[in-house]
Amino acid sequence: MRVCKIYYRYLLLIFLSILLQHGPQAQVLQKRSMTLMGSRFQVTIIGRDSLDAQQKIDAVRAEIVRIENLISEWNPATQISLVNKNAGIKPVKVDQEVLALTQRALYFSEQSAGAFDISIVAMDKIWQFDGRMDSMPTAASIQRSVAQVGYRDIEIDTTNSTIFLKRPGMKIGFGSIGKGYAADRARALMLAMGVQGGIVDASGDIASWGRQLSGKPWLIGIRNPFKLSKAAAVLRFENGAVVTSGSYEKYAEIDGKRFSHIINPKTGYPATGLISVTICGPSAEFANGLSTSIMVLGVKEGKKMLKKFPQYSGLFITDSGNVITVGVLPK
């Protein structure tokens, strides 16, 4: 009998040893900042331990670099650069991923009646937002500046997976929704890898999932450029995205009037009326398309557009300081 007790105690010790080795471990939160896609990214990951979290952040970085190497218009080796190089010459075959992203961009152009347009990268750089500009461009130069802008001349062939820019001098770029897309893709990758929670912040295009180590939702503050000491709102997120487009950091001031760096692609003039647009919803890419469009559309038309998509809500700050909420924010 005594032998049996010793034997069972021995088995229990083995069982407890296995539990200690393979059972739940204390998780850690790791952050890393990096420059990708010409912008500052901050990645926050909850990992099993420090090494696991750093490896997951490495995976996020690799995914964003992969996307950048597909869609950057600054890297001459990317598919988008090849599309731009062949504007007015011939269609260019691209990956399905690039084709689908372009199709979604064109959807925003249609929904916003041209307020959103990825071909705006072909616009002449007649506006300067670094403090050097002290006089208005001429009306004629503004009109000429958008001569090569026009989303209707972007031709998609889904059968052959090609993009064709119909007019010489046209260009497309994804500065408007590319970072949001990268944040969404990074989040999807982390979920597929079993990461419990985290945030990918792509210079204000934020995708989050899960919760903090404390079990509480992630808290994201929305800046009010008129009251820097107080946030316009503090949002609580689990699985969601928040994106802010604003003109309060980059602008030109001419004769006492402020001109936004966000340009209306139809007119060539800076957008007016709104100084900040924050959009919340499931996708950072989609929220980015909405925020960019609404900055150009203004309050009235922006509200109309946002209400078409009930999964998304918004916080608008006008250039006179009024704060307008559209829909229900995740507070």
Residue 104: partners with Cβ closer than 8 Å, 6 or more residues away = 177, 285, 289
Q: What is the pLDDT of residues 173-185, one digit of tens each?
A: 999 899 999 999 9
Q: Which parts of the chain have pLDDT scores under 50? A: 1-24
Q: How far apart are CA 54 and CA 305, in angstroms?
A: 40
Q: Which long-range contacts (CB under 8 A, 24 or more apart) does 219-223 make?
A: 222/278, 222/315, 223/276
User: Model-level pTM?
Assistant: 0.90
The whole-number pLDDT of residue 131 equals 79
The whole-number pLDDT of residue 72 equals 95
Q: What is the largest CA-CA distance in the chain?
A: 102
The whole-number pLDDT of residue 228 equals 79
The whole-number pLDDT of residue 295 equals 96
Q: How far apart are CA 99 and CA 93, in angstroms?
A: 9
Q: Are 243 and 205 in contact (CB under 8 A)?
A: yes
Which residue blocks in 136-248 are alpha helix, DSSP H? Answer: 139-145, 178-192
The whole-number pLDDT of residue 6 equals 40
CA distances from 29 to 214, 218, 237 (A): 11, 13, 17
The whole-number pLDDT of residue 249 equals 76
Tokens of 230: 């107080």
What is the topology classification, in CATH, of domain 25-331?
Answer: T-fold (3.10.520)
Residue 215: partners with Cβ closer than 8 Å, 6 or more residues away = none
